Structure 1
Amino acid sequence: MSLNNAPAKPPGADTKPPTRAERKARLLAELEQQRVDILVDSDQLLRAASPLDSNWQRFKIPAYVIGGLAALRLVRHPRGALAGGRKVLAGYMLYRKLKLLAKVAT
């Protein structure tokens, strides 16, 4: 067999595979970079969400009051709440069917 017909070796084929310590160091560096990325992204998320959080504070107490009144009504008149729940469920099911029908019609 001639040397000209030998398959070409991919570049870097003569180099040795990385040792266990080198792989560990590379993985640790990658983990550290991921941690830094998470910290940067979480800081960016907190800055972006801060207006929403401050606005939520205005609605928190009214939401608790409305929820408490709804719970009180549910305790005092459970049949009315169950009937309302059935109507909401029926409305949701109707919405899904209409959405499916519109999808088939187009």
Structure 2
Amino acid sequence: MGADRHQAPSRAERKAALESRIEQQRVDILVAAGRFRTATQPIDDGWHTLMRFKTPLVALGGLIALRLARRPGQLLRLGRQATAGALVLNRARRLLR
């Protein structure tokens, strides 16, 4: 009776145990994939929205690049205005807190 406890499991028992582990791993992967899809849904939605406007954004970028290529000094002025606007916006946020 004591020898039965130390006997190695049969091939069928090992196979059943492995199949059980594989099935549990499949379930775990499906659960993790669902969580991943849920977590990345806002990013995916934003990407799809951006891709919907891809052509107009590329055209707008081309027009801006063309205009800046004709007048290079305008790029510096635009950069200064953007920096000043960002600083004003940051200051306004601090004051409103």
TM-score w.r.t. structure 2 length? 0.52
**Which blocks of at least 5 consecutive residues in structure 2 are unaligned?**
1-20
Rounded Cα–Cα distance in structure 1 between residues aligned with 2:77 and 2:45: 39
Instruction: For 1:41, give the aligned amino acid.
Output: R
Deviation at residue 90 of structure 1 after TM alignment: 0.3
2:57 to 59, 63, 72: 63
Q: Does 1:87 align with 2:90?
A: no
Q: Measure, in 1, the Cα distance between the counterparts of 2:32 and 2:67.
A: 45
How far residue 64 of structure 1 moved from its aligned partner, in angstroms, is 0.8
CA drift of 1:88 comes to 1.4
**Cα distance, 1:98–1:56 mapped onto 2, change above 3 Å:** closer
Alpha-carbon distance between aligned partners in 2 of 1:75 and 1:102, rounded to the nearest angstrom:
39
Partner Cα distance (1:62, 1:41) in 2: 34
Corresponding letter in the other structure for 2:65: A
Percent of pairs with identical residues: 27
How far apart, in 2, do the equivalents of 1:51 and 1:98 lie? 27
Structure (1 or 2) with the greater helix fraction = 2
For structure 1, the 5+ residue unaligned runs are: 1-27
CA distance in 2, matches of 1:99, 1:62: 31
2:69 aligns with 75
Match in the other structure for 1:96:
90
In structure 1, give the amino acid aligned to 2:35: D
Q: CA deviation at 1:60?
A: 1.3
| TM-score normalised over the length of structure 1 | 0.48
